[in-house]
Amino acid sequence: MAASGSPVSALATSLRCLAFELLRVFAAPSLRIQIFSGLTTRNILLFPPSLSSLSLSQISPFWFVRSFTPASAMAASSSSPEAAPTGPADAISRDRILSSNLYFDVPPSKVPVIYSSSYDIAFFGIEKLHPFDSSKWGRICQFLIKEGFLDKKQTVEPLEASKDDLLVVHSESYLSSLKSSLNVAIIIEVPPVSLLPNCLVQNKVLYPFRKQVGGSILAAKLAKERGWAINIGGGFHHCSAEKGGGFCAYADISLCIQFAFVLLNISRVMIIDLDAHQGNGHEIDFSNDRRVYILDMYNAGIYPFDFEAKRYIDQKVELASGTKTKEYLDKLDEALKVARNNFNPELVVYNAGTDILDGDPLGRLKISPDGVMTRDEKVFRFAREKNIPLLMLTSGGYMKSSARVIADSIINLSKKNLIALDSPLGRK
């Protein structure tokens, strides 16, 4: 966040005031504005008036543009209420996966922790207009290295996902829409980005995202080989094949799973999404794909309010704002027990958002740092008990303290012998 009294802070405060007044004045059941760009009209759904009672400190300007859907995708969705499963449904998509360079052999001297310094996002301080700590990925690694639990030379640097890689899930029209800085600004919820040249947006924003996508995809391969893998990034669970939003421009979870289906010879994947927000992106993408089982435990009173996507959750655990640590962990225990009985996966994709932390401005839950560590430990034990490869993505988290908590949780997993940061081959 911007320092108090800085120009960036003043701008953010002004925009919050504007957002608050708009919410207070326009009390309609739902608001839809139109943004004209060239010859096309793009529709943006605003939040319902129930949020108008929030305090000023809880309102941020980017909430007015929480998601973006290209016009072609909106037309397709309106004419086809039940979309076909996203992924390599034909020979072209399969060939794209088989010709990709994102899977590569990792030497035994490396641990299955994936990170690149390119993950962090910084462009003239504008990124501070969003509460997400866009430098948290690097700070997680710094904490792990400082504590002596990780050697930077042992981490794995992924490749950037190419256009052909992204086309395995995304459409040409969606990827083309990202050539508009306005569209990217809507997706990442930072309005001033719309004023920047797209070449700068590609380099400073979308390139880091594409590197993280490459990390998520590679994590599945390493998890299958080593038993576990952690991508210090990724978890863009609000993005689907045709729609970005909520700071998520690429559907890395969907891409990771589609690559795994083809290259790892697996046919059953469980997504355990414990970010505070509903994972509507992957839920839409796998709406008709019974190979994927989704356990989603989230605060039902916050974004994205995606009621269509909720229909595709196999196991839904909805929480109320203010849920505390004990209740949260009790519900998680029960949910994992049910999931264990319902589905037998060959791979677990764990979306481990830390926006559940007490004090997070967007997650609005009250989970302690120790509670987050216990949560992660429970999920890793769930996979270990069934000898299922697991990959972890760090996903959301909107406080500076999130990086420290994630690092502490990874250290705890190592101390509990659920992962082995000191062993070149990990721990199966």
Q: pLDDT band at residue 18, thresholds of 50, 70 and 90?
A: very low
Could you write out the DSSP letters of every residue in 93-159? HHHHHHT-SS-----TTS-SEE--GGGS--STTGGGGSSS-TTHHHHHHHHHHHTTS--GGGSBPPP
In a domain, 95, yes or no: no
- The rounded distance, in Å, linking the Cα atoms of 16 and 62 is 9
- The rounded distance, in Å, linking the Cα atoms of 134 and 415 is 28
For residue 379, the model assigns a pLDDT of 98
Name, of 72-76, 132-136, 333-337, the range with top average pLDDT.
333-337
Asked if pLDDT for residue 213 goes beyond 60, the answer is yes
In a domain, 67, yes or no: no
Name, of 75-84, 133-142, 170-179, the range with top average pLDDT.
170-179
Q: What is the pLDDT of residues 89-114, one digit of tens each?
A: 578 889 999 999 999 999 999 999 99
In a domain, 63, yes or no: no
For residue 159, the model assigns a pLDDT of 98
In a domain, 379, yes or no: yes
Write down the mean pLDDT value for the chain. Answer: 82
**In this structure, what CATH number is given to the domain that contains residue 315?**
3.40.800.20
For residue 131, the model assigns a pLDDT of 61
Q: Is the pTM of this model over 0.95?
A: no
Lowest mean pLDDT among 71-85, 115-129, 327-341, 409-423: 71-85
Q: Respond yes or no: is residue 130 known to be catalytic.
A: no
In a domain, 353, yes or no: yes
Are the C-beta atoms of 287 and 259 separated by less than 8 Å? no
**Which amino acid is located at 77 in the chain?**
S
* Catalytic-labelled residue, pool 130, 170, 237, 238: 238
Grouping H, G, I as helix, E, B as strand and the rest as coil, residue 215 is: helix
Nearest Cα to Cα of residue 276 among 358, 186, 185: 358
Asked if pLDDT for residue 256 goes beyond 50, the answer is yes
In this prediction, what percent of the chain has a pLDDT beyond 90?
A: 71
49 upstream amide cis, omega within 30 of 0: no
Q: pLDDT band at residue 124, thresholds of 50, 70 and 90?
A: low
For residue 130, the model assigns a pLDDT of 55
Partners of 337 in beta bridges: none
Q: How many domains does the chain have?
A: 1
For residue 221, the model assigns a pLDDT of 98
In a domain, 126, yes or no: no
Alpha helices in 189-286 (DSSP H): 198-201, 207-226, 252-263, 280-285
For residue 323, the model assigns a pLDDT of 98
Q: Please indicate whether residue 1 or residue 328 has the higher confidence score (pLDDT).
A: 328
Name the strand (E) or helix (H) holding 76.
helix 71-79
In a domain, 22, yes or no: no
Q: How far is CA 332 from the centre of its chain?
A: 20
For residue 29, the model assigns a pLDDT of 31
In a domain, 175, yes or no: no
Name the strand (E) or helix (H) holding 386.
none
88 upstream amide cis, omega within 30 of 0: no
Are the C-beta atoms of 260 and 269 separated by less than 8 Å? yes
Domain that holds residue 257: 134-160+213-416
Q: Tell me the average pLDDT across 405-412.
A: 98
Structure tokens given for 251: 């559907």
